[in-house]
């Protein structure tokens, strides 16, 4: 019982320590800074409405909850690619690797790239300054997790950010503005059944994203001397419950995001198992957006709820995950390839 009290107290203490900074941005914080990191990764979590902090059992957990990397056996690699959105020249891809040593903890390495091409820049009267250009955001993720005891792990995630955006200088000259930055996350994973057998299947996750993350923009000659942006922290708790039903396993889960507004992610998945190994899975979820203040106009801005669904298949050491995500702007599809060694 001492171990379970230690696990719970550690997670509660972390929540209390950072809750103030989550809900109150500092004077140097630029709202919506670092939004390129907010979409999420992995077709499997995205197919459940972005619910994964409490599940945390495949390579994509290095993004969602680094502490969950201790749930992986050996080496696991994965990738995710966004299919084309309508007529937009949109690129989104993520590749990562997780290695659980079994002795010295688990290590993760990932690379996220997002870009939009075909951007036309015009001056104030509509003259084309640049016919086609591109913006790009790149994030390199480094993660480490260590099991303090069986069923309770802590994780640390670092990130290096690089990117460029097209801009008009004085409304008439094309320029490219570059930025770089970095920061870190803290996370925890708790499997209650390892401490109390009656709670078998109950899992809790906590990821405090961007505990401190800062972006530095390069200066533009004759216009700016450069600037810095601080990314708001995001407090992301999650809960999941794995229910064994013969050859099937059902897992409902809920995550929360608190950055800017309260966002509720709710989803679940059902796996068919063969000899205890996941073989075929289906899933679905929702992402419910809370309201945000509408500035001087008053009132609250709200966004319609997103929904998603997906499926998976596993064969020996390789697997494929698919997700369809619908929102009020446009549907998006993701495809992931997973390998275990």
pLDDT tens column, 2-45: 433 333 333 333 333 333 333 333 334 445 566 777 888 999 99
Calculated CA dihedral for residues 82, 161, 53, 187, nearest 10 degrees: 170
Question: Which pLDDT does position 97 carry in this prediction?
Answer: 97
> Is residue 27 classed as helix, strand or coil in its secondary structure?
coil
Global pTM value: 0.85
Question: Which pLDDT does position 183 carry in this prediction?
Answer: 96
Q: Which ranges constitute the DSSP H helices of the chain?
A: 2-23, 43-46, 61-64
Domain 2-340, classified CATH 2.40.160.60, yes or no: yes
Question: Which pLDDT does position 84 carry in this prediction?
Answer: 57
pLDDT digits (tens, 9 = 90+) for 163-187: 988 877 776 777 888 999 999 999 9
Question: What is the spatial distance between Cα 153 and Cα 53, in angstroms, rounded to a whole number?
Answer: 13
CB contact at 8 A, 140 and 159: yes
The Cα-based distances of 295 to 17, 210, 280, 298 in angstroms read 29, 25, 47, 6
pLDDT digits (tens, 9 = 90+) for 265-305: 999 999 999 988 999 999 999 999 877 777 677 777 777 88
pLDDT digits (tens, 9 = 90+) for 312-325: 999 989 999 999 99
Q: At residue 116, does pLDDT exceed 90? A: no
pLDDT digits (tens, 9 = 90+) for 70-111: 999 999 999 988 765 666 677 889 999 999 999 999 999 999
Question: What is the spatial distance between Cα 235 and Cα 46, in angstroms, rounded to a whole number?
Answer: 18
Question: Which pLDDT does position 85 carry in this prediction?
Answer: 60
For the chain, what percent of residues have pLDDT higher than 90? 61
Three-state secondary structure readout of the chain: CHHHHHHHHHHHHHHHHHHHHHHCCCCCECCCCCHHHCCCCCHHHHCCCCCCCCCCCCCCHHHHCHHHHHHCCCEEEEEEEECCCCCCEEEEEEEEEEEECCCCCEEEEEEEEEEEEEEEEECCCCCEEEEEEEEEEEEEEEEEEEEEECCEEEEEEEEEEEEEEEEEECCCEEEEEEEEEEEEEEEEEEEHHHCCHHHCCEEEEEEEEEEEEEEEECCECCCECCEEEECCCEEEEEEEECEEECCEEEEEEEEEECCCCCEEEEEEEEEEEECCEEEEEEEEEEEEECCEECHHHCCEECCCCEEEEEEEEEECCEEEEEEEEECCCCCEEEEEEEEEC
pLDDT digits (tens, 9 = 90+) for 48-73: 999 999 999 999 999 999 999 999 99
Specify the higher pLDDT residue, 164 or 237: 237
Question: Which pLDDT does position 245 carry in this prediction?
Answer: 94
- Where along the chain do its domains lie? 2-340
CB contact at 8 A, 226 and 215: no
């Amino acid at each position: 019982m001492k171990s379970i009290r230690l696990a719970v107290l550690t997670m509660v203490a972390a929540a209390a320590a950072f809750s103030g900074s989550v809900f109150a941005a500092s004077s140097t914080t630029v709202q919506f800074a670092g939004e390129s990191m907010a979409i999420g990764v992995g077709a499997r979590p995205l197919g459940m409405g972005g619910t994964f902090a409490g599940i945390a059992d495949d390579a994509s957990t290095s993004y969602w909850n680094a502490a969950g990397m201790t749930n992986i056996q050996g080496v696991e690699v994965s990738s995710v690619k966004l299919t084309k959105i309508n007529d937009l020249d949109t690129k989104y891809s993520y590749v990562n690797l997780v290695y659980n040593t079994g002795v010295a903890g688990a290590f993760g390495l990932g690379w996220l790239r997002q870009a939009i091409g075909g951007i036309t820049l015009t001056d104030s009267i509509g003259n084309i300054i640049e016919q086609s250009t591109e913006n790009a955001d790149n994030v390199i993720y480094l993660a480490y997790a260590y099991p303090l005891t069986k069923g309770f792990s802590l994780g640390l995630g670092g990130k290096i950010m690089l990117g460029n955006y097209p801009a008009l200088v004085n409304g008439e000259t094309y320029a490219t503005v570059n930025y770089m930055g970095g920061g870190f996350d803290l996370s925890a994973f708790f499997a209650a059944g390892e401490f109390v057998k009656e709670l078998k299947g109950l899992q809790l996750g906590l990821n405090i994203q961007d505990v401190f993350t800062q972006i530095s923009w390069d200066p533009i000659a004759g216009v700016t001397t450069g600037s810095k942006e601080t990314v708001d922290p995001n407090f992301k708790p999650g809960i999941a419950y794995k229910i064994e039903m013969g050859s099937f396993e059902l897992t409902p889960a809920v995550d929360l995001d608190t950055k800017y507004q309260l966002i509720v992610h709710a989803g679940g998945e059902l796996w068919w198992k063969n000899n205890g190994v996941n073989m075929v899975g289906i899933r679905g979820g929702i992402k419910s957006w809370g309201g945000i203040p509408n500035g001087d106009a008053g009132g609250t801005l709200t966004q319609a709820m997103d929904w998603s669904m997906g499926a998976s298949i596993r064969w020996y050491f390789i697997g494929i995950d698919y997700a369809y995500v619908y929102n009020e702007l446009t549907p998006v599809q993701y495809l992931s390839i997973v390998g275990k060694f």
